[in-house]
Amino acid sequence: MKQSQFYFKTRKEVSKEEIAISASLLIRTNFIEKLTSGIYNFLPLGLRTIKKIEGIVREEIEAVEGQEILMALLNPKRNWEQTGRWSTFKALFKTQSRYGQWFALAPTHEEVITPMVKNFIFSYKDLPLYLFHISNKFRDEPRSKSGILRGKEFIMKDLYSFHTDEKDLEKYYEKVKKAYQRIFKRCGLKTFVVEASGGTFSRFSHEFQVITPAGEDKFYYCSSCKFCRNKEIAENIKKCPECGNTLKMFKGSEVGNIFKLKDKYSKAFDLKFRDKDGKNKNVMMGCYGIGISRLLGVIVEANYDKDGIIWPKEVAPFAYHLLSLSSGNTKIDKIIKKQADLFYKKMIHKGIEVLYDDRNDVSSGEKLVDADLLGLPYRVVISEKTMKNRKFELRERRNRKVKLLKLSDFDKIIKGR
């Protein structure tokens, strides 16, 4: 992608309303744009990164046999009345058709998926079943001050599992827990698996928390036995209930949450199956969410320095940032451009994701500042200085290590990337 042709311009200032560092960095680099409080548009760089995150999530959920579907976001009122949540789900957005019917804008999908699978689940032979979808959710959040960390409209991955019994649900729940740890690790995050309220049906659910001052949750952590519990459900515990050690408290942002729903929704929708013994039984369910757009924000909260974002490799919108720096001398600049164009062509040919700063109306200083702000993992610079010795500069954003390499070594560097 050439920056001269790309929807890209960094901004110096961001509105003072943006208090989250992630929101301010993502707006300054044009990854996202605010429509109004809690509602954001994703621009080309932001969407590329979202797709990278979704790709990782899709791969790992498919690896635990999840099958992808896409459910409707406009939900009839009766589905939500059937579970009682039309009146109890406080953040439910409700909208009325001009013909009088009421609809909910889906904040989660139990009310859609449970009656849907009734068409497919009849006997124990139809179970287990694992279905997931990645799409927008709507919640009338009272506090949308943290940019994309808490949106009124946001992107979520939600997986639902259907089982014959609790034991099978338990087994799958543990499998998903491991898949989640792989997902967040690949996103460049260290997560803590925190015990949290399980609602009325389970003692605990599990949250995946990333430590950050921008987070809205607080959790206890035991450095000795790794016990973690959300403060909301465990007021004033001083000693670890597992090993007696002193607990620490951290602020975190929840990037995922897994729940054993058991028969809560199958009861509401009369979702039953005929078991081996010929008896009709309630299907056992689990649900597993990941905040895809919140993840984009949390990744930034956990990966930045004074100069800008530092993208973890697997989720970076591009792996390389190629910069041609002009010297002011037309003849030399022609040579620089020719070399940078050649590198760009080679990288595209190799299928390497590269953003090429080929803008000629921008100073070298500005290009370097923009590159740090944007924070792609590798920067390749061609300038008068490097060309003098027939070299190019390769710099890693995370550790700022710079190497001056021979132009002839470029092929080796990009080979196998």
The site for ligand ATP (CB under 6 A) is made up of 108, 139, 141, 150-151, 154, 156, 254-257, 289, 291, 293-294
Report the distance separating Cα 52 and Cα 100, nearest Å.
41
If one asks whether residue 253 binds Mg ion (CB under 5 A), the answer comes out as no
Stretch that binds Mg ion, among 59-67, 146-154, 218-226, 251-259 (CB under 5 A): 251-259
- Closer CB to Mg ion, residue 30 or residue 257? 257
DSSP, residue by residue, 84-105: THHHH-TT-EEEE-TTS-EEEE
Nearer Cβ to ligand ATP, position 151 or 375? Answer: 151
Whose Cβ is closer to ligand ATP: residue 256's or residue 377's?
A: 256
Selection from Mg ion, ligand ATP, none that 294 binds (CB < 5 to 8 A by kind) is: ligand ATP
**According to CB under 5 A, which residues from 216 to 245 bind Mg ion?**
none
Tokens of 234: 């465990």
Sole residue written with tokens 């009146």: 87
Instruction: Encode burial over 203-234: b for 16+ CB neighbours within 10 A, e otherwise.
Output: ebbbbbbbbbebbebebbbbeeeebbbbbeee
β-strand pairing of 378-382 with 402-406? unpaired
Q: Which residue's beta carbon is nearest to the bound ligand ATP?
A: 291
Distance, in Å, from the CA atom of 252 to the CA atom of 212, rounded to the nearest integer, reads 5
290 versus 325: smaller Cβ distance to Mg ion: 290
* Listed residue (39, 5, 7, 45) closest to 26, CA to CA: 45
**End-to-end CA separation in angstroms for the chain:** 18
CB of 280 to ligand ATP, least distance (A): 30
From ligand ATP, Mg ion, none, interface partner of 291 (C-beta below 5 to 8 A by class): ligand ATP
Window 87 to 126, contacts with Mg ion (CB under 5 A): none
Q: How far is the CB of 62 from ligand ATP (least distance, A)?
A: 19
DSSP secondary-structure letter at 17? T
Give the residue from 351, 354, 328, 353 showing the smallest Cα distance to 340: 354
Residue 148 Cβ vs ligand ATP, minimum distance, rounded to whole Å: 7
Is residue 257 a contact residue for Mg ion (CB under 5 A)? Answer: yes
Nearest distance, CB of residue 142 and Mg ion, angstroms: 15
**Among ligand ATP, Mg ion, none, partner that 18 touches (CB below 5 to 8 angstroms by kind):** none
Q: Which residue ranges make up the site for Mg ion (CB under 5 A)?
A: 257
